[in-house]
């Protein structure tokens, strides 16, 4: 049997915190660890989806304390929507691995960090969409406790890879700082959890002595395919982003203590909605090298800056102003804590998106940039907007500052309306109180 007939393990560890995604994975075939520096990620997890398709892991490690949306996304991709999740660190995760020949069986501190790899070190790439789906079905989602992703513990485990007896503690710390970017906290946490998992399952050295650890002969950095990696100092040096102190004393020493200064992002930001501003910022933070994506963006900009298309630009701008992010609204809806303002924002968001979609179809405009987004505006969005408009009485809700249902929706509620109640009381008093000197007050 050839060596290629064995299934070699590829263990991927991820950590997501405050809109930043860090990852690290280990390839048993090459005994090389790959690290991905922190990058911006949204609640749709597009970067995570690209990462999984690029690495094609056999085991995915995540923290139990991660956001439920992320865990649901991983469960859908790894297990095909099943509810089966591995929650304990055991040796069953190393099933299907092969023995390695010609590699070192100990971590002697000679780990080497090399330059960027465009597609990482996993040579067993998916050859087709069918094989891509098969790889996801074979992928196992493994949940680890949050303590495994502790920053200080992860830093100590990473430092052990580079420690040397001939150097003191300060020199070893400097050696670690030169080889690993400690400022990428999510990457450090993910890498530390990966090392802890490898020590627990003893991947590739199951039949060796207990003191022999999983071999790591080299550490490399990699990036998402078609994405250019840039450091924060590069963004600041090129004036792409420029953070300056906020002049207001009330916001000092808070998360909003800084604001965007004179930068390229501020000059290009003409977005009239918060989701648009967030999306534009992600485009700047994650520069792409995909020529097709860049051409689609430039074609859209070229269309809207032309004078003959000012009516289309004004139409879209007026509707985009009323669009908000539905993530917080949907979260409050699950807890039954929606306010009148939430219902209004949700209705205006759906209605504005529908109007923009119908306008594009009516004028037969073709934007490759919006192809995937327009597919999301389906019958469910139209039905949601119609149901909200049919049920909620926004005028009365604003006057009474509470949720008010339109008349004709439920006859039981119509009978309990204040106007009907007052008419009913007046009718009762008129018929049953015969004393003409009695006054009625409501």
What are the two backbone dihedrals, phi and then psi, of residue 57, each rounded to the nearest 5 degrees?
Answer: -75, 160
For the cut 70, the answer to whether the pLDDT of residue 85 exceeds it is: no
Comparing 313 with 423, the larger pLDDT belongs to 313
The whole-number pLDDT of residue 108 equals 46
Q: Enter the tokens of residue 25.
A: 């994975």
Buried (b) or exposed (e) across 297-308, using 16+ Cβ within 10 A? eeeeeebeeeee
The whole-number pLDDT of residue 135 equals 41
Burial class (CB in 10 A: 0-12, 13-18, 19+), 335: exposed
Maximum CA extent, the chain: 110
* pLDDT tens-digit readout, 232-244: 888 889 999 888 7
Cβ distance 280 to 271 under 8 Å?
A: yes
Closest CA to 195 of 233, 160, 226, 234: 160
* pLDDT tens-digit readout, 28-39: 999 999 999 999
Domain architecture of the chain: domains with CATH: 10-81+137-221 (3.30.420.110), 228-244+259-289 (no CATH), 298-441 (no CATH)
Among the residue ranges 82-96, 221-235, 351-365, the one predicted with the least confidence is 82-96
Comparing 87 with 248, the larger pLDDT belongs to 248
3-class SS of residue 379: helix
Angle at 299 between CA 293 and CA 304, to 5 degrees: 135
Residues 76, 84: Cα–Cα separation, whole Å? 10
For the cut 60, the answer to whether the pLDDT of residue 102 exceeds it is: no
Buried (b) or exposed (e) across 236-275, using 16+ Cβ within 10 A? eeeebbbeeeeeeeeeeeeeeeeeeeebebeeeeebebeb
């Amino acid at each position: 049997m050839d060596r290629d007939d064995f299934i070699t393990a590829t263990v991927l560890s991820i950590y997501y915190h405050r809109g930043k995604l860090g990852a690290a994975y280990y390839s048993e075939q090459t005994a090389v660890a790959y690290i991905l520096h922190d990058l911006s990620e949204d609640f749709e997890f597009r970067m995570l989806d690209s990462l999984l398709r690029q690495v094609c892991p056999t085991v995915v490690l995540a923290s139990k304390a991660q956001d439920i949306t992320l865990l649901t996304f991983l469960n859908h991709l790894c297990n095909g929507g099943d509810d089966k999740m591995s929650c304990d660190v055991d040796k069953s995760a190393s099933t299907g691995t092969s023995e390695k020949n010609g590699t070192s069986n100990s971590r002697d501190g000679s780990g080497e960090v090399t330059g960027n790899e465009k597609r990482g070190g996993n040579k067993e790439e998916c050859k087709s969409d069918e094989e891509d789906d098969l790889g996801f079905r074979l992928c196992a989602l493994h949940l680890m406790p949050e303590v495994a992703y502790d920053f200080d513990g992860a830093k100590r485990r990473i430092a052990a890879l580079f420690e040397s007896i001939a150097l003191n503690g300060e020199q070893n710390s400097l050696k670690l700082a030169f080889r690993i970017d400690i400022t990428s906290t999510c990457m450090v946490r993910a890498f530390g959890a990966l090392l802890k998992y490898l020590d627990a399952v003893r991947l590739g050295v199951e039949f060796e002595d207990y003191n022999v650890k999983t071999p790591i002969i080299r550490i490399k950095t990699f990036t998402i395919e078609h994405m250019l990696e840039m450091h924060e100092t590069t963004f600041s040096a090129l004036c792409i982003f420029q953070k300056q102190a906020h002049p207001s004393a009330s916001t000092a020493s808070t998360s909003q203590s800084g604001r965007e200064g004179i930068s390229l992002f501020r000059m290009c930001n003409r977005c009239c909605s918060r989701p648009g501003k967030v999306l534009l910022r992600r485009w700047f933070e994650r520069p792409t090298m995909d020529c097709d994506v860049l051409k689609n963006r430039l074609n859209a900009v070229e269309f809207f800056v032309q004078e003959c298309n000012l009516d289309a630009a004004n139409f879209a701008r007026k509707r985009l102003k009323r669009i908000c992010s539905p993530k917080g609204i949907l979260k409050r809806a699950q807890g039954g804590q929606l306010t009148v303002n939430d219902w209004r924002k949700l209705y205006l968001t759906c209605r504005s998106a529908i109007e923009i979609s119908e306008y594009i179809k009516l004028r037969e405009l073709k934007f490759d940039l919006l192809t995937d987004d327009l597919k999301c505006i389906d019958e469910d969005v139209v039905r949601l907007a119609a149901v909200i408009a049919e049920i909620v009485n926004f005028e009365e809700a604003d006057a009474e500052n509470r949720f008010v249902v339109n008349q004709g929706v439920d006859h039981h509620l119509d009978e309990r309306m204040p106007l009907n109640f007052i008419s009913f009381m007046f009718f009762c008093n008129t018929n049953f109180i015969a004393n003409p000197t009695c006054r009625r007050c409501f």
